[in-house]
């Protein structure tokens, strides 16, 4: 009855037991490779089935569907997709370091293209896969029943090829996974031979032979220490980068990290360019062909190739981490293996295979010698043998008489009765004698092998050298010392630059060396090509490594590194600032090397404020509030203060107000500030010590005045005269603290620029007209100045 076959059991116990059975089935029977041949069951069954079908490397290809059907029908009771996927991977040169199957047709691509259906593709064993199957017919491996008990299949293959080391493996089981790196065959062979010669070899010594993983797609591995840790422990992480080079100002990618999809990388780069995460790329082309990978990345004229390359490595799969986890089945159980243990398992396996093969060959040699002994005795007594056979009524009687008369074994008698007449010739007799001698030598050789581990080791080394000479190739993956984690600016040459901002919102940087020093009153050089009705607004000197703080008229602040500002020639117009800053209404630029000290703000209505510079060290992409600007007011200046200086505010109409910095207390970012001067402010300066104050007017005139001529007042005063403002001079552009060693750069709204020495500017009193600093063309005005 059915009730007699029902087992009552708590469900939690049944779930635990059944899941454990399932887990072990997946671990042992599906997901993890056997350490002996480096194959999972599905791969082993495919190779064995193809071998049985006679699909050797020197035979015609056969339809993949035929192979899949053979594997499914005889050995692998799973879906056809699983078998075909496994077959396809073994034929992909970008997946396997040494392909085990020679495919014909579309077997997929590094772009992630799917292979053609199995009815279209054809396959056969590759030449190197024969080295996995060689000697399988010599009782060298264990066998088990297939799924329905009608056939036998190998538990593992003889595997002369150290497949697990050279091709690696990857798989996800239950509660564990494996990810083993491929290696170069030449290096693996040398390491195995070195281990045979020196069983106490260390991991460091092994790495003289095996430099590191060797991926089928090449690339560059950074960090020998990471490789050593992975080899020493069986697990670890290694950094793999694409191989790139520069062609002019452009970047070309020729090799990708292992298992990286080329089409997806290109798509991702394009997305990051659109989102402005990666800057400086003008065009992106896939120029790959049958000769190899070539991704061409065209950069914009003002882009720095090293910076863009660094961004690509940081944000895309052009740099990946390969996690090594050497878990394989050893005697049917999963085990984490070091590099030396993997090599020792291979040597142990090959010793067993060679011993079993030698035992099989010895058995066959002795059997053949036994038959040859009988042949030779029979030929020496041929007349008697023939007579005895002729007198016998049947083969059984003849066999028995031969065994009785000449003391033959049953096997010898059977073979003698099967002899052909041509064997009786003298040449055949000689051939039999020679063959017997060869068998005696072979028996001696095989017995010597079986009696000596040293002899087995010698054979292992000989066979490995054959592998190396037949299939060895050059390393594809380059190994380099660990890359130093560099900031982008480590790749940028530090130099002094001039940064120019126009009223129209265009900005550029250019080398300070572009402008030679001229005498006072010169016409200057072209600073930039202006768009129609655009004028230069601000000019500053900075280092390429400085952070530039951009202050907008409404009191917000943004930041960029100086090297991120597009480079341009003296004649170029620059790039629209709105392309890389949320606001185009920038009124002040400050170069900052470190965020120590304070920043002083001044507005057009004479409001001043002091805040710690450190408040602006971390600025969001969309900016932060720097000062609270009142109604109908705007920011006109921001300067860094070292502390203890004199603040000088200059008005458009020629007045200046000077007071101690300590008159302003530090405030937060959201504060508005306090009154500094009761006039419309054009400019602000912070002066230290006994220095001159340079006043510059819009018509190109200016003068130096000793700071001692300016009386110190409380903040909020109307100020004292600093220069005469009239038709000749025009309005005040600004004031600057200078000494005789300084150089000053002036720029005009029409794009002219002049670099002059402070000592060449005449020193005069406060209430004077000044001297000509730059000769202006008709309609031109001075709009900005900077100390070099």
CATH code of the domain containing 81: 3.90.199.10
Tokens coding 648? 């000088």
Q: What whole-number distance in Å separates Cα of residue 38 and Cα of residue 705?
A: 86
What three-state secondary structure class fits 6? Answer: coil
Between residues 655 and 425, which one has the greater pLDDT?
A: 655
pLDDT at 661 over 60: yes
pLDDT at 486 over 60: no
Strands 674-675 and 122-125 come out as: unpaired
Shared-domain flag, residues 509 and 437: no
Give the pLDDT confidence score for residue 174 in this predicted structure.
67
The verdict on residue 14 lying in a domain is: no
The verdict on residue 30 lying in a domain is: no
**Residue 371, C-beta contacts closer than 8 angstroms, at least 6 positions apart:** 411, 412, 415
Residue owning tokens 């691509």? 109
pLDDT band with cut points at 50, 70 and 90 for residue 284: very high
pLDDT band with cut points at 50, 70 and 90 for residue 28: low
| Catalytic residue flag (residue 222) | no
What three-state secondary structure class fits 763? Answer: strand
Q: What whole-number distance in Å separates Cα of residue 371 and Cα of residue 52?
A: 30
The verdict on residue 166 lying in a domain is: no
pLDDT band with cut points at 50, 70 and 90 for residue 375: confident
What is the chain's mean pLDDT, rounded?
89
Domain limit, last residue, from 299, 317, 339: 339
Is residue 630 within 8 A of residue 605, CB to CB? The reply is: yes
Give per-residue pLDDT as tens, 730-744: 999 999 999 989 988
The verdict on residue 685 lying in a domain is: yes
Shared-domain flag, residues 136 and 205: no
Is residue 577 within 8 A of residue 499, CB to CB? The reply is: no
Of 16-20, 22-26, 77-81, 160-164, the range with the lowest mean pLDDT is 22-26
Shared-domain flag, residues 603 and 509: yes
CATH code of the domain containing 424: 1.10.268.10
Residue owning tokens 């008005």? 651
Give the pLDDT confidence score for residue 514 in this predicted structure.
63
pLDDT at 713 over 80: yes
Q: Summarize the confidence of residues 515-543 as an average pLDDT.
A: 60
pLDDT band with cut points at 50, 70 and 90 for residue 524: very low
The verdict on residue 85 lying in a domain is: yes
Instruction: Reduce the secondary structure of 410-463 to three states and give it as a string.
Output: HHHHHHHHCCCHHHHCHHHHHHHHHHHHHHHHHHHHHHHHHHCHHHHHHHHHHH
In the set 19, 22, 57, 120, the catalytic residue is 120
Angle at 19 between CA 18 and CA 20, to 5 degrees: 90
Name the E strands within 217-336.
220-222, 235-241, 243-247, 250-255, 281-286, 295-299, 319-325, 327-330, 333-336
Closest alpha carbon to 479 in 219, 230, 292: 219
Shared-domain flag, residues 227 and 376: no
Strands 333-336 and 152-154 come out as: unpaired
Longest CA–CA separation in the chain, Å: 152
Shared-domain flag, residues 324 and 355: no
pLDDT at 77 over 60: yes
Is residue 327 within 8 A of residue 342, CB to CB? The reply is: no
DSSP state of 517: B
Give the pLDDT confidence score for residue 426 in this predicted structure.
62
Shared-domain flag, residues 102 and 221: no
Of 497-511, 596-610, 753-767, the range with the lowest mean pLDDT is 497-511
The verdict on residue 20 lying in a domain is: no
The verdict on residue 576 lying in a domain is: yes
Shared-domain flag, residues 522 and 603: yes
Give per-residue pLDDT as tens, 199-255: 999 999 999 999 999 999 999 999 999 999 999 999 999 999 999 999 988 999 999
Domain limit, last residue, from 141, 158, 175: 158
Name the E strands within 490-606.
496-502, 506-511, 525-526, 536-543, 547-552, 556-561, 575-576, 586-592, 598-603
Is residue 501 within 8 A of residue 213, CB to CB? The reply is: no
Please give the distance of CA 73 from its chain centroid, rounded to a whole number.
43
Give the pLDDT confidence score for residue 21 in this predicted structure.
65
Give the pLDDT confidence score for residue 29 in this predicted structure.
59
Shared-domain flag, residues 394 and 260: no
Give the pLDDT confidence score for residue 752 in this predicted structure.
84
Element (H, E) at 365: helix 339-380
Shared-domain flag, residues 753 and 615: yes
Residue owning tokens 């000088």? 648
Q: What are phi and psi of 369, to 5 degrees?
A: -60, -40
Say how many Å lie between the first and final Cα of the chain, rounded: 104
Between residues 176 and 130, which one has the greater pLDDT?
A: 130
pLDDT at 301 over 90: no
pLDDT band with cut points at 50, 70 and 90 for residue 83: very high
pLDDT at 579 over 50: yes
Is residue 722 within 8 A of residue 650, CB to CB? The reply is: yes
CATH code of the domain containing 502: 2.120.10.90
Shared-domain flag, residues 147 and 218: no
pLDDT at 468 over 80: yes
pLDDT band with cut points at 50, 70 and 90 for residue 276: confident
Shared-domain flag, residues 132 and 273: no
Number of domains in the chain: 4
pLDDT at 294 over 60: yes
Closest alpha carbon to 498 in 527, 523, 460, 529: 527
pLDDT at 175 over 80: no
CATH code of the domain containing 258: 3.30.1360.40
Q: Summarize the confidence of residues 712-717 as an average pLDDT.
A: 90
What is the domain range of residue 357? 348-469
Domain limit, last residue, from 280, 314, 339: 339
What three-state secondary structure class fits 342? Answer: helix
pLDDT at 703 over 80: yes
Is residue 246 within 8 A of residue 252, CB to CB? The reply is: yes
pLDDT at 788 over 80: no
Q: Summarize the confidence of residues 87-96 as an average pLDDT.
A: 96
Tokens coding 630? 């009142």
Shared-domain flag, residues 566 and 583: yes
**Residue 11, C-beta contacts closer than 8 angstroms, at least 6 positions apart:** none
pLDDT band with cut points at 50, 70 and 90 for residue 447: very high
Of 144-158, 166-180, 215-229, 667-681, the range with the lowest mean pLDDT is 166-180
Give the pLDDT confidence score for residue 9 in this predicted structure.
79
pLDDT band with cut points at 50, 70 and 90 for residue 527: very low
pLDDT band with cut points at 50, 70 and 90 for residue 417: confident
Give percent of the chain above pLDDT 90.
63
The verdict on residue 724 lying in a domain is: yes
Give the pLDDT confidence score for residue 771 in this predicted structure.
93
């Amino acid at each position: 009855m059915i009730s007699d076959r029902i087992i009552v059991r708590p469900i939690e116990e049944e779930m635990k037991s059944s899941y454990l059975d399932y887990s072990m089935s997946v671990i042992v029977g599906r997901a993890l490779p056997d350490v002996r041949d480096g194959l999972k069951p599905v791969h082993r069954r495919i190779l064995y089935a193809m071998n049985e079908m006679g699909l050797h490397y020197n035979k015609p290809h056969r339809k993949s569907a035929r192979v899949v059907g053979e594997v499914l029908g005889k050995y692998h009771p799973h879906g056809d997709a699983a078998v075909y996927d496994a077959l396809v991977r073994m034929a992909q040169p970008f997946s396997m370091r040494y392909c085990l199957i020679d495919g014909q047709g579309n077997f997929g691509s590094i772009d992630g293209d799917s292979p053609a259906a199995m009815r279209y593709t054809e396959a056969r064993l590759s030449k190197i896969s024969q080295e996995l199957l060689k000697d399988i017919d010599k009782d060298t491996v264990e066998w088990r029943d297939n799924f329905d008990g009608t056939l036998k299949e190998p538990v593992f293959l003889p595997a002369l090829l150290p497949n697990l080391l050279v091709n690696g493996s990857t798989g996800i089981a239950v509660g564990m996974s494996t990810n083993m790196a491929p290696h170069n065959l030449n290096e693996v062979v040398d390491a195995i031979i070195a281990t045979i010669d020196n069983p106490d070899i260390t991991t460091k010594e092994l790495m003289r032979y095996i430099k590191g993983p060797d991926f089928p797609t090449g690339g560059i591995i950074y960090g020998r220490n990471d490789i050593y840790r992975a080899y020493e422990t069986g697990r670890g992480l290694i950094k793999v980068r694409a191989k790139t080079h520069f062609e002019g100002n452009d970047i070309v990618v020729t090799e990708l990290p292992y298992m990286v999809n080329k089409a997806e990388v290109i798509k991702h780069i394009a997305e990051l360019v659109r989102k402005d995460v990666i800057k400086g790329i003008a065009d992106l082309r896939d120029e790959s062909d049958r000769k190899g990978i070539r991704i061409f990345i065209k950069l914009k004229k003002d882009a720095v190739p090293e910076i863009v390359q660094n961004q690509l490595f940081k944000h895309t799969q052009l740099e990946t981490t390969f996690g090594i986890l050497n878990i394989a089945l050893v005697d049917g159980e999963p085990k984490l293996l070091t590099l030396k243990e993997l090599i020792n398992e291979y040597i142990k396996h090959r010793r067993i295979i060679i011993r079993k093969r030698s035992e099989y060959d010895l058995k066959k040699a002795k059997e053949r010698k036994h038959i040859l002994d009988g042949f030779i005795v029979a030929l020496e007594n041929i007349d008697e043998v023939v007579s005895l056979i002729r007198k016998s009524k049947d083969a059984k009687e003849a066999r028995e008489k031969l065994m009785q008369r000449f003391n033959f074994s049953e096997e010898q008698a059977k073979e003698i009765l099967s002899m052909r007449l041509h064997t009786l010739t003298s040449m055949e007799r000689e051939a039999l004698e020679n063959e017997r001698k060869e068998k005696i030598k072979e028996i001696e050789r095989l017995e010597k092998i079986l009696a000596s581990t040293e002899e087995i080791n010698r054979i292992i080394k000989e066979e490995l050298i054959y592998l190396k000479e037949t299939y060895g190739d050059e390393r594809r993956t380059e190994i380099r010392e660990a890359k130093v984690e560099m900031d982008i600016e480590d790749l940028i040459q530090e130099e002094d630059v001039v940064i120019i901002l126009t009223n129209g919102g265009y900005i550029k940087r250019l080398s300070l060396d572009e402008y030679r020093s001229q005498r006072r009153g010169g016409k200057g050089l072209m600073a930039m090509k202006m768009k129609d009705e655009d004028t230069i607004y601000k000019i500053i000197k900075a280092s390429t490594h400085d952070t530039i703080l951009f202050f907008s008229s409404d009191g917000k602040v943004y930041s960029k590194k100086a090297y991120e500002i597009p480079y341009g020639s003296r004649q170029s117009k620059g790039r629209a600032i709105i392309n890389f800053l949320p606001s185009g209404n920038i009124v002040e630029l400050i170069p900052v090397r470190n965020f120590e000290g304070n920043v002083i703000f001044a507005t057009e209505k004479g409001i001043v404020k002091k805040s710690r510079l450190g408040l602006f060290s971390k600025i969001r992409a969309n900016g932060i509030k720097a000062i609270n600007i009142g109604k109908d007011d705007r920011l006109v200046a921001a300067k860094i203060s070292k502390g203890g200086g004199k603040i000088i505010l200059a008005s458009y109409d020629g007045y200046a107000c000077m007071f101690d910095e300590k008159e302003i207390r530090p405030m937060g970012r959201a504060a508005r500030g306090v009154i500094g001067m009761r006039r419309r402010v054009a400019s602000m300066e912070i002066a230290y010590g006994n220095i001159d104050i340079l006043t510059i007017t819009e018509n190109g005139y200016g003068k130096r005045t000793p700071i001692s001529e300016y009386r110190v007042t409380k903040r909020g005063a109307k100020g004292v005269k600093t220069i005469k403002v009239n038709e000749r001079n025009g309005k005040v552009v600004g004031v600057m603290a200078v000494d005789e060693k300084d150089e000053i750069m002036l720029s005009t709204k029409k794009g002219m620029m002049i670099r002059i020495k402070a000592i060449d500017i005449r020193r005069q009193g406060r209430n004077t007209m000044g001297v000509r600093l730059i000769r202006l063309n008709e309609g031109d005005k001075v709009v900005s100045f900077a100390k070099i």
